[in-house]
Amino acid sequence: MDEGVTLTDPETVYFAYDTKIGRDVIVGPNVFFGPGVEIADNVTINAFCHLEGACVGEGASIGPFARLRPAAKLGAGVKVGNFVEIKKADIREGAKVSHLSYIGDARVGKNANIGAGTITCNYDGYFKYHTDIGEGAFIGSNSALVAPVNIGDGAIVGAGSVITSVVDGDALAVARGKQRAVSGWAADFRIKQQEKNK
């Protein structure tokens, strides 16, 4: 604190013996630093975050309720939002993983955007596999990236997709069942169910 770190509730923040924190860092309440954490200057760590074995670049924003596991590396200006878990992943400068996502064994390119509910499916029960997401790529919400897989620079993955093969740079990948509508089905269903109760 004497060197420029702001702890909004110091009594609830826990440090490891080797925690390194730069200047002008803000740490919210109930933050836990496990061993091997390095925080650069001008970082904001919001409430209820858990960090271990992670390296956080200048100007990054973390949490609330985020978990950085060993070998998580965040570049300058990265945003890791609420209920996001990062493990053994290199999140490059300006990339955003804003909420409700798991990114493990991966590289997320500069200025890429990871939509809510995205999962890197990195484990098959025996081995771990790598996911590579290119610079400026956009991953739609509720997508599953089944590793090993590469998403090219500037590519877009449509929301709700399960991606199992290469997505070329600047391409759109959509992998989901097509929506269909059956007119009147819901009304008929309600009538049938109500008749069962008589």
pLDDT band at 197 (very low <50, low <70, confident <90, very high): confident
- Domain presence at residue 88: yes
DSSP state of 36: S
Contact 173, 152 (CB under 8 A): no
Segment 145-167 shows an average pLDDT of 98
pLDDT band at 3 (very low <50, low <70, confident <90, very high): confident
pLDDT band at 33 (very low <50, low <70, confident <90, very high): very high
- Domain presence at residue 1: no
Contact 156, 133 (CB under 8 A): no
Tokens read off for 166: 């290469």
> Which residues participate in catalysis according to the annotation?
99
pLDDT at 198: 78
- Domain presence at residue 167: yes
- Domain presence at residue 164: yes
Query: Among 29, 31, 34, 2, which residue's Cα sits nearest to residue 18?
Result: 34
Query: Among 94, 83, 90, which residue's Cα sits nearest to residue 59?
Result: 94
* Residue range(s) defining the domain that contains residue 164: 6-196
CA distance 140 to 144: 10
- Domain presence at residue 181: yes
Segment 64-80 shows an average pLDDT of 98
CA distance 155 to 172: 6
- Domain presence at residue 187: yes
CATH number of residue 65's parent domain:
2.160.10.10
Contact 97, 117 (CB under 8 A): no
- Domain presence at residue 16: yes
The backbone torsions φ and ψ at residue 194, rounded to the nearest 5 degrees and listed phi first, read -65, -35
pLDDT at 167: 98
Query: Among 162, 135, 170, which residue's Cα sits nearest to residue 146?
Result: 162
Q: Rounded to the nearest 5 degrees, what angle is found at the Cα of 47, between the Cα atoms of 44 and 52?
A: 75
Segment 127-141 shows an average pLDDT of 98
pLDDT at 184: 96
pLDDT band at 66 (very low <50, low <70, confident <90, very high): very high
- Domain presence at residue 69: yes
pLDDT at 2: 83
In the chain, the number of structural domains is 1
Q: What is the pTM of this model?
A: 0.92
* 3-state SS assignment for residue 86: strand
* pLDDT of 75 above 90: yes
